Amino acid sequence: MYIKYLAYLRTPMVSKDTLFNYLEENNMSYALVFSQLDTIKSVGQSYAAKIRGVFNQIDDFCEEHQQVLEEFMALKAKINQLAEIRILALRDTKWDVYKDVKEIKVRVYNKTHETIRFITFNLRITSTDTNFTAIIPCKVELPISSFRDQSFIFDERAHANYHNQLSKIKYQRYKYSYQIKDIYYGDNKLTLHKKEFEEVFSENFTSPLITANPSPYCPYLESGDSLIVALESLNPTTRSRN
């Protein structure tokens, strides 16, 4: 009854006579009204505390993931400054006994003051006609003092996935970028393969939104995650924090 009364009381432009008539029709004394209003206040305070607690958990979760994201993005930028990778050739060729082989020939420039002992990177090769992007992992395990040329071969049997991706690229009409994943130079080693990164997002992460179906409260939470379920169970009609 007190909920119904509260809704009635909040009706715009209600007159005093109408209010008194409502109280009389429902046999409601002033003492009962004030008692129910106190109950409403108590329930509201309890509800506010619960929902505030869930929002605090969501804020903590988001802040933690945002810090990891910022560390990850800073490392991605830093590690890419240590070497430069250029594609010298992208073509079909023959290799050993294979008839149909895709070859990527690259030149890796050392941008550090130490010899690069080991480097892995992803090439992102995009067809300018179709916007299809092939993502090709590469590894150079030979020392690089100034620069080194190396070819990567992909046959349709042992490397079917990468071979098929490269088949969709027109060799004269493409653009490319790269992301270094691991580099070992001198006594230094940097890697994107950190456990905390893998727990939050993939190494190919590029979008500011991580999840496929983000909640309106936090881009790192799916709509069905436990914190969101807990929040919506408190107030199923809640769609924003205001």
Task: Output the pLDDT for position 102.
Answer: 93
Which CATH code, of 3.40.1350, 1.10.3470, 2.60.40, 1.10.287, is assigned to 81-200? 2.60.40
26 token code pair: 């429902």
- Answer whether residue 224 shows pLDDT above 70: no
Residues 6+ apart with CB under 8 A from 189: 182, 183
pLDDT tens-digit map of 8-59: 444 454 555 565 666 666 666 656 665 556 555 555 555 566 667 777 777 7
Query: Within the chain, which residue ranges are assigned CATH 2.60.40?
Result: 81-200
Q: Which two tokens stand for residue 103?
A: 């070859």
pLDDT for 222: 66
pLDDT in tens, 150-167: 999 998 888 999 999 999
pTM assigned to the model: 0.65
| pLDDT of 198 higher than 70 | no
> What pLDDT is recorded for position 36?
58
Order across the sheet with 98-110: list the strands. 83-95, 98-110, 147-155
